[in-house]
Amino acid sequence: MATFSRQLHAWSQNLLDLIYPRECLITNEPVEKESPCRFLSRKAIDRIYFIDDPHCATCGAPFFGELIALRDCPHCRELNPSFDRGRSLFLLRETGRELIHELKYRKGRHLLPDILSLIRKRPNYLNFLANGILVPIPLHSLRERERGYNQSLLIARQMAEASGCALAPALRRVKHTETQTRLDRAQRQANMRAAFALDPKTKIDPTARYILVDDVFTTGSTLNSAAQELCRAGAKQIDVATLGHG
């Protein structure tokens, strides 16, 4: 029955594509049949700045130019993170920026299969996720009702499907924080102080590796606040993973 359902879904999608040809989110041109994505053309995919080695081991920011030894970036030394390592899939530029904004601000949930496809094609990113328990950064209930969904949870689900990792919504947002967009580093850190609490139904396993998932790594204040709460609950191994960095 499951196989038939997938075949029926694929047939209906092909029929819709025939009647209503898909347009690329970035170029507004028809998406080629050869593209691995439904709403991104090959030209748009070429405009994604995927992050590969070398990169900051803590936040995942790429290092440009010749690197003598692996090191953390100056940004992370100022952050004093409560997590160990971080990876981001791409820089928050061009296609990557539009992809995040479409999902986060324009109800672009139809892009989730494309996000899954992009994750699956980055073996280094998948290797980083391997053997982790994915913990999405929660939204406050007021903001989630306003938006209609938590984008970090949706992203974490794509990561889980691509990597086979377990998904555990272990945190709650207990502080309705001001949007971080217009705040500087110090204001973001103050804004996120005591913003999270462990979900009462969650029991932390100190031997497990937890990976906090968010849409974007900017200053790291949100992820750091969440990591501090996991630490207080007994987690010993905490990493972070985001789609965008910037």
Integer CA distances (angstroms), 160 to 80, 134, 204, 212, 245, in order: 28, 7, 19, 12, 20
Query: Per-residue pLDDT tens for 164-204?
Result: 999 999 999 987 765 656 656 566 556 666 789 999 999 99
From the CB of residue 88, how many other CB atoms can be counted at a distance below 10 Å?
A: 26
Q: For residue 63, what pLDDT is reported?
A: 87
Rounded to whole angstroms, the Cα distance separating 232 from 57 reads: 23
For 40-64, what is the mean pLDDT?
Answer: 93
Report the 10 Å Cβ neighbour count for 9: 10
Architecture of domain 49-245: 3-Layer(aba) Sandwich (3.40)
Sketch the domain layout of the chain as residue ranges. 1-46, 49-245
Q: Which of 223, 220, 241, 242 is nearest to 231 (CA)?
A: 223
d(C-alpha 168, C-alpha 149), whole Å = 17
Q: Is residue 159's pLDDT more than 60?
A: yes
3-class DSSP assignment, residue 12: helix
Give the tens place of pLDDT for each residue, 58-90.
999 998 765 555 566 877 877 889 999 999 999
